[in-house]
Amino acid sequence: MQRDLKKMVLASLALGMLYSGTAVCQVEAVAQDDDIVDVVVTAERMPSSRMSTPADVTVITAEQIEDNHYSDVAEALTHVNGVVVTNGNANGDQEVVINGDQRVVIMIDGQRLNNDQGSMTRASVSLGMIPSVKNIERIEVVKGAGSALYGSDAVGGVVNIITKKGSKAETTLDMNIGSFGTHNLELSNQGSEGDWSWFAGAGLQERDYFRYKGDNGENVRRNNSGYNNKSLYLRLDKKFTDSDSLRFMFTHRQTDAEIQEDALLRRQNHNFNYGSITYNFKENQSVPGFLRYSANYKSTDYQGKYDTHSHSLEYQNGWQLGNHKIVAGGEWRKSSSTNKQSGYEGKDITTYAVFLQDTIKLDDQWTFIPGLRMDHHDAFGTHWSPKAALNYQPTKQTRLYASWGKVFKAPTADDMFYIDNAYFMRGNPNLKPESGHVETVGITHEFSEKAVLDVNYFWSNIDNAIKWVYNPATWWTDVQNVSNEKKQGINISLNGKLSDRWSYEAGYSYISSKTDDKQVSYYEPNGYRLGVHYNCDRWKANLMGRFGSGLDDTAYGRNHYAIWDFNTSYKATDNVDIYFKINNITNQVYYVVPKSTYTGFYYPLQGRTFLVGATIKF
C-alpha cells in the first residue's frame, strides 16, 4: 500500500510538471542590481566584485535556499562543486570538507565558529551548530587558503554564512513531515521600526530511526539513528547614521541525538550557544570596519561530558588611498576546554593575531593583493602567514587569477590531551603545529549571460600534518605528526540558462591526497555535480545529482555512486508555498562516513526519503 501511494504521488507530480511545461509560462520579472548581486565580501574581508576577486568563490543565495527548501546548511553545501559534508552522528557532527581538506573556517556574519576542541579529524567546527536557514541572506564559499586573513583552520577554505537583516513586517511558518517519522516545524518573524530591525525564530526537528540500502541490497534499519533538535536565533540591529550601526546576534541549538557505534547503542547530546555584539562603522565606504565581541559555548554529553568556552575580541578597519584598498585588524581569543571522559579539565588556549592586506589596482585589467598575518599561540609561539594573489581581467567576460598563501594550524585540545581507555585512543602533548603552503590558479569566462565556465587547479604541501593513526600491534590509535601531506586537484564548473524556464549547473572535481607516499581517502575524492532547474509561473522544480567512481568499495559500500535528489513546489497563493522533496531517489548504497578498518564503524546515506511541507507567510 505504501509503495502504491508513493507511485501515485510521483505520477501526479510528473503530470503536474508536464502540464505546467506545456502551459503558458509567465515568469515574474525580479528587479535586481547586477552590481549588488555580483558583490562578495568574504574573500578579501571587504566588498569586491566576483570577477575582480582572485579566488574560487561560490555563492548560495537566499532564493536558492528557498527554492530548494533546504532543511539545513549542510544540505545546501552538499551541492557545491568541490565541497563534501559528512554527517556521522545523527545530525550532531556535520563536518565540511573543501578541496579534500577538513581544515575549514566556518563563520556567521564574519564571526568565527571554530573552537579549540576538535573531533578526531582536522575539523574544529560542526554545521550542527547552525540553527536555521530561514535567516540566511547568502552563503559564500571561498575555496583555497585563507590563513593570511582568517588564520588557523583556513587551509581548505572559508564558509561565511551571512544572515538577513529584518525589513518588512512578516511572520513565516514552515512545517513538513516525511519518511522515518520526520517532523519539522519552524516559526520566524522579522520587522523594523524606526532605527531598529529584528529577525527572530525558533524550530523543532524530529526523526526516528532511518533505513538505508545495505550491501546485500535489502533495506536495513539504522538502529539508534533518531534525533530531537530545538533551536532559537535572534538578530537585532540598531542604525545610528548612514555609516554606523550596532548588531546583536544570538543563536542556540540543542540536539538530542542517538548514535550506533559498533554494536553499542549510545546517546549524544549537544548544546550550542554563541553570540556577538558588533559595532559597524564606515558602512557607506568601500572598505568598512567593525569592532566585535563574541562568545561561543559548546557542550557535549557522549560517554562523558566535554565542552569548550571561548571569548574573542576583533577589530578591523580600512582605507581607500588612491589605487590602494588597505584592510588591517587584530584578534584576541581565549578558550577553555574540558573533556572529563579523557581526564583533562580547564585546558586554556590563548591566541592573538594581527593582519594587513593591500588590494592594489595596477590598471583597468591587473589587480595585485599582498597580505601578511601574524599569529601568536601561547603553546606554539609566533607564526607568520604571508599571501600574494593576482587577478587579470582582459575583458569584462574573462578573468585569470592565481594565489599563494602560507598556512598554519595548531593542534586542538583533544589532539594534545585526549585519552580514551575504552577505545584505546590517545592524544600527544608533544605535537608540532601544521604548516605549509597552498596555491591556486584559475580562469573564469562568461560565454554569455547564459553560460559561465570556471576552471581552477590547486595544490598544497603541509609539513608536520597531524593524523590519528591506528597501530594494529598495540591496538592504540595515536595522534602524531606525519612527515608531509601533499594534495592536488581540479574543479570545473559550468552554470547557465537554457531559457527563461530552464537553468542548469554542472561540475567536476578531482582530488588526490597523499601522506607519506600513501593514498588517503577524503570522502568522494572524484565527483561530478549536475543540477537542472525549472521555473514557470507558480511551479518550481529542481533535480540535482552527485556522481563518482574509484572508491574503495570496502570503505564506502561500493566503488561508485549516483545520488539523485528532487524537489518541486507550487505557489498556491501569494503567501502559501506547498513543496515535495525526494532525496536519494534511487535508494543508493553509499557510506557518508567510510567504514573503519579496525572498529567496523561507518555511517550510511539515508535510503530514499520523502518529505512534504508548506511555507505560510502572514
Block residue for cell numbers 585519552: 419
pLDDT for the residue numbered 265: 64
pLDDT band of residue 511 (cuts 50, 70, 90) is confident
pLDDT for the residue numbered 6: 43
Residue 28, pLDDT > 50, answer no
List domains and CATH numbers for the chain: 2-617 (2.40.170.20)
Q: Minimum mean pLDDT among 6-15, 246-255, 322-331, 377-386: which range?
A: 6-15
Distance of CA 274 to the CA centre of its chain: 17
The three-state secondary structure class of 113 is coil
pLDDT band of residue 19 (cuts 50, 70, 90) is very low
pTM: 0.89
Mean pLDDT score, 391-413:
91
pLDDT for the residue numbered 129: 81
Phi, psi angle pair for 319, to nearest 5°: -145, 140
Residue 1, pLDDT > 60, answer no
* Rounded distance between C-alpha atoms, residue 180 and residue 4, angstroms: 17
Tens digit of each residue's pLDDT (9 = 90 or more) over 240-274: 999 999 999 999 998 887 766 555 666 778 888 99
Which residues are CB-contacts of 435 (< 8 A; sequence separation ≥ 6)?
Answer: 383, 406, 407, 408, 409, 462, 463, 464
pLDDT for the residue numbered 607: 92
Sign of the dihedral defined by the CA atoms of residues 166, 140, 126, 262, in that order: positive
E strands within 133-244?
Answer: 136-143, 157-163, 170-178, 182-193, 196-207, 211-213, 219-221, 227-239
Phi, psi angle pair for 262, to nearest 5°: 55, -130
DSSP 558: S
E strands within 66-181?
Answer: 83-87, 94-98, 104-108, 111-112, 136-143, 157-163, 170-178
Mean pLDDT score, 120-133:
77
pLDDT band of residue 599 (cuts 50, 70, 90) is low
Q: Which residue has the higher pLDDT, 118 or 375?
A: 375
Alpha-helical regions (H) of 61-124: 62-68, 73-78
pLDDT for the residue numbered 576: 95
Mean pLDDT score, 321-346:
87
Block residue for cell numbers 515574474: 28
pLDDT band of residue 598 (cuts 50, 70, 90) is low
At 350, list the grid cell: 590563548
How large a percentage of the chain has pLDDT more than 90?
44
Residue 33, pLDDT > 60, answer no
Mean pLDDT, the chain, rounded, equals 84
User: DSSP secondary structure string, 434-489?
Assistant: EEEEEEEEEEEEEEETTEEEEEEEEEEEEEEEEEEEEETTTTEEEEEEEEEEEEEE
End-to-end CA distance of the chain: 37
Phi, psi angle pair for 167, to nearest 5°: -135, -100
Which residues are CB-contacts of 42 (< 8 A; sequence separation ≥ 6)?
Answer: 57, 107, 110, 140, 142, 158, 160
Closest CA to 286 of 237, 324, 258, 259: 324
Torsion of CA 359, 363, 368, 371, to 10 degrees: -30
pLDDT for the residue numbered 267: 72
Q: Minimum mean pLDDT among 94-103, 308-317, 347-356: which range?
A: 94-103
